[in-house]
Structure 1
Amino acid sequence: MDSPEARLAVASLRERLSGRRRTMLGITGAPGSGKSTFAAWLQHQFGPDAAAVVPMDGFHLANSIIDGTPLRERKGSMDTFDAGGYLSLLRRLVLRDEEVVYAPEFQRTLDEPVAASIGVPSSVSLVITEGNYLLASQAPWPEVRAQLDEVWFIDTPPAVRLGRLVDRHVEFGMDRTAAEAWALGPDEANARIIEATRDGADRIIPWG
């Protein structure tokens, strides 16, 4: 599953972690690129005592906020996230002055974020945050980028990415026709926005 580029990136990250300062690493890429899988793999390289994963998806707006609005038809787009809340969390994690910082997590079985699902102790030296818009130019995303030491872009073949998306949507309740329509519609619209930010990444990681 991993690649030579990923192994090289891990080696460089180990060098960065030799200092005492906490390292904040962003993982971005289009929907279905494997960000969550890569972040979990990366955490495994360092161990849960040294590394924590804090997904941006925990800041999806709740369905009670978007239901009955145009946002519902493009859930996952930039304006369906609490970007300010995410930025505030990253700033707390950078400061590292609290014994534990709790972060929300998106539960796909519920299709909702759940508060305080992830605990990040102050002892953790590497925080990995993964999400779609870490390199976006619209406010407040440049401020999000400013909290991160590096951002890596996950590069996955489009056919692989789309297949994963369809399978994921089916797994969590869509019929296949609806899943394909969503993957080729809202997901693909978001993918084009995200792909346009790849030149701002510190590393491109082929994955999958």
Structure 2
Amino acid sequence: MRLTTAELVERAADIAAEARGAGAAAVLGITGPPGAGKSTLAAALADGLAPGAAVVVGMDGFHLSDQVLKAHGSRDRKGAIDTFDDAGYAALIDRIAGRRPGSPPVYAPEFRRAIEEPIAAGTAVTDEPLVITEGNYLLATTGAWPAARSRMAQVWYIELPDAERLRRLVARHHAFGKPLSDAEAWARGSDQRNADLIAATRDAADLVVEWV
């Protein structure tokens, strides 16, 4: 389904309004393959809603650190499903979904691309009725991912034609320090293997959208 930012903001506003009316917090998941525009859409939704209505919590804050990945021998597969703390992410989403107005803040980690590492307590979740979480594996069926999904009101899957998605991925990797040849190899190698796994979860989404 092709939807504009305004149309998606309207859908997100409905979820937020329902949560506010129930005196609870709703979690909206945004998923899709690497380079599809998940973090950009999540930010656009939060910016498009009323002030204080939404906050973004990224799954990427649960990347294992480079030190841990090197110890596991998986640094060259960073971004694969087994290079995340899925149980930690599920526990965070459970805490967020259980919040009530006036509850103490919940602090979430965030991922800093400039250093390619997660940092603790980078985002505070307070009394926002809508928490938007984005990441690759929200619909995965292994590990603790289903526990996280069970606490989300909806999960939207973002599609983008592969040629454009790959172009964006290469540009992003290059912008953050990879030589162009390495950026292209990573996008067509490790990233593509992850994209194939994520594509297999597409039909479990509440909404499949081509964002325009």
| TM-score between both structures, scaled by the size of structure 2 | 0.92
In the alignment, structure 1 residue 134 sits paired with structure 2 residue 138: yes
Q: What does residue 180 of structure 1 align with?
A: 184
Output the amino acid matched with 1:174: K
Residues 6, 205 of structure 1: 8 Å contact kept: no
Residues 33, 207 of structure 1: 8 Å contact kept: no
Residues 52, 127 of structure 1: 8 Å contact kept: yes
* SS of corresponding position for 1:17: helix
RMSD: 1.5
Q: What does residue 91 of structure 1 align with?
A: 94
Output the amino acid matched with 1:202: D
| TM-score between both structures, scaled by the size of structure 1 | 0.93
| Partner Cα distance (1:68, 1:159) in 2 | 35
In the alignment, structure 1 residue 146 sits paired with structure 2 residue 150: yes
| Partner Cα distance (2:9, 2:203) in 1 | 20
Q: What does residue 27 of structure 1 align with?
A: 30
| Partner Cα distance (1:14, 1:48) in 2 | 12
Structure 1 spans left out of the alignment, 5+ residues = none
Q: Give 1:5 shift.
A: 5.4
| Partner Cα distance (1:91, 1:29) in 2 | 21
Output the amino acid matched with 2:98: L
Residues 153, 201 of structure 1: 8 Å contact kept: yes
Output the amino acid matched with 2:106: V
| Partner Cα distance (1:127, 1:118) in 2 | 11
Q: What does residue 54 of structure 1 align with?
A: 57
The match for 1:106 among 107, 111, 136 is 111
Residues 30, 157 of structure 2: 8 Å contact kept: yes
Q: What does residue 38 of structure 1 align with?
A: 41
Q: What does residue 11 of structure 1 align with?
A: 10
Residues 63, 118 of structure 2: 8 Å contact kept: yes
Output the amino acid matched with 2:119: V
Q: Give 1:11 shift.
A: 2.4
| Partner Cα distance (1:40, 1:27) in 2 | 11
With over 3 angstroms needed to count, the CA separation of the structure-2 counterparts of 1:108 and 1:32, relative to structure 1, is same
* SS of corresponding position for 2:74: helix
Output the amino acid matched with 1:187: D
Q: Give 1:33 shift.
A: 0.4
Output the amino acid matched with 1:178: D
In the alignment, structure 1 residue 82 sits paired with structure 2 residue 101: no
| Partner Cα distance (1:148, 1:101) in 2 | 16
| Partner Cα distance (1:173, 1:104) in 2 | 23
Aligned length: 205
Q: What does residue 125 of structure 2 align with?
A: 120
Q: Give 1:141 shift.
A: 1.1
